[in-house]
Chains A and B, each alone.
Chain A
Amino acid sequence: MDGHVLSVEQLTVAFGGLTALDRVTFDVPHRSVVGLIGPNGAGKTTVFNAVSGVVRPREGTLRRHGRPLRRHRPHHLPRLGISRMLQGLGLFPGMTVLENVMVGADPLATGGLPGMLTGLGRAPRDERRVRERAEAALHEFGVADTAHALPGTLPYGVQKRVALARACVCSPELLLLDEPASGLAADEVSELAERVRGMRAHGSVLLVEHHMDLVMRVCDRVVVLDFGRVIADGTPDEVRADPAVERAYLGPPEGDGDLLAPDGPEEARDGR
């Protein structure tokens, strides 16, 4: 058993004539934050989809702790210790915040169908445990006071945290975050950065993000995709300095009459 929570080897995914991923290879080491960046349509979400069993790769292998993952389905993720936050949040609009997070905690329950139908056996204990875990997660993410609201009525930032709470409630070993910072204000992004860094204590994070500030701040490693291919893989600083990355993704660092040119050292890495 090697130390990699996830190894992606020669992953190739195609949709019809379009090759979305082309022999992508990288690792997510234990207790680390790996950033996955690249232009729009580069295939970042597709990597997540392959890892979570939503799309079947044409070629290549995924390994968890060295053991290959084959023909797994999305609903196997919690069992595999993987958890994913969707790009569009994917909260259940007809359920309260607490229930949303309880769904995330349900894999903790062990009872079977008879118990669910009759409320007998392990069911009440399961229910209590799931609820307690969910409530704890809500507290942890600072959204406990919205437990009984419907997500649609909440500000976007709060919804984000609910989605994050749902993804983290089972303490996954590998957390897949798809653009968690989009739509968040600057202070919220900082807070998010803290959290992501804190997650290293329990497990690993694979982070897709266009918010360069966040990526540079929290990632141990950064993998850059372009047109479905890995064009760079290294520490944040290495990647930043890579001219290919600059050409494909970041754009010229210094503005020549560029309205968006960074103006201060502490903001130097803000790409937005």
Chain B
Amino acid sequence: MESLQVLVKAGIYILMAAGSLAAIGAVFFPNLFYAGLSLAGVLICVAGIYLSAGADFLAMVQILIYVGAVMTLIIYAIMLTNIEEIKVSHLGIKQILLSILAVSGFAVLTASAILSIDWRPLSGQNRLEVHELGAALMSRYIFPFEVLGILLFAVLIGAIVIARKDKV
């Protein structure tokens, strides 16, 4: 079976590489539609990562909610505000350079922090069954679940009220 494991590991690394590339694409693509699609690519790679980390339910939910709903929202927004034509998609070169500098600084700092710690004792996963998740959701985390429900309900109404043309 270890040959399969090699394959899976390779797969995961490929997914990570693809994810990073898609993320960079999402940020730097001048055409916003491509940026949206690369975001979808990132989401799917992240779903793959969730699978590799043992969270199957989460992977499927990720694809269902993110790629299904959020991407549709984003693409709707893109189409409705016909952003396509506007050529300049990024801010001034000064702002770009400064932000890249700042972010790379941040990345170096955090990376050094990550690499300097020995994670071995913490590593190791256990694949969770969906019913375990369901049980926990309904027992221990019932309160956040209900609040989430109410929040989504409010968002539903709010989004509609904000977005629709006011009937004047």
Same complex for A and B? Answer no
